[in-house]
Amino acid sequence: MDNFNLKKYLAEGKLLKEEKRSIVDYDNRDGRTTELFLDNGDSVEVDVIELYNEIRKNNEDLAEGKLTQIKEFVSKDLDDRNQPLYDELVAGSGKSDTMEGEMLRAINRIVYRYYNDGDEYTTGYGTETVGPAHSFLVNANTGVRSAMNMIFKNGTNYEETIEDALEHILSHIEAKQGKYTKNTAGDMFDYDAEFEDDTYEEDDYDDYYDDEDDY
């Protein structure tokens, strides 16, 4: 397809999570192409290096909060409390200036990526997309670290757990009454995920392309 626009395709969120997992962590991509299957039934062959780089850029855009809107995923009450604080405290790009802003940035990313993409910080591709955000909440000295550890450790239902975490963070920030704390914990993306993605190994990627040679 000569008129295929890879950037537009990725921006529309049409790339399957399985396709992301098979490419985004692979570091030996020289001379490789892969086939994407489009929702209209067509398929297109794309350069894996270009695809990899575009996925990385797309993830960076998400990391900067450009696509973080959770109002369609949470109750009206939570959104009415969350959105004004998010707009006030979360930076347009990069880390927030306050602890409160960075913890809000982290939990919003966790909620958004779960409902929009199915990503969970404990497994698969989610260890990369939201693992650092979860790690920030349970490790950084933000004032809610103990509570976050308890919520995430004791939660038995993922949806309820992340919404409980959001509720607690909002209550903590509201109690500050505008007297916020300077961010000394850094950027959430500088934190290593607590869990590893063991769903896709490099050998599996090589086997996939070896199998393609048989067709």
Give tens-digit pLDDT for 93-115.
789 999 999 999 999 999 998 98
Domain boundaries, the chain: 6-61, 71-190
Say how far apart CA 134 and CA 149 lie, in whole Å: 10
Q: What is the pLDDT of residue 44?
A: 76
- pTM exceeding 0.85: no
- The pLDDT assigned to 5 comes to 72
pLDDT confidence band for 8 (50 / 70 / 90): low
| Confidence band for 27, pLDDT divided at 50, 70 and 90 | very low
Percent of the chain with pLDDT over 90: 46
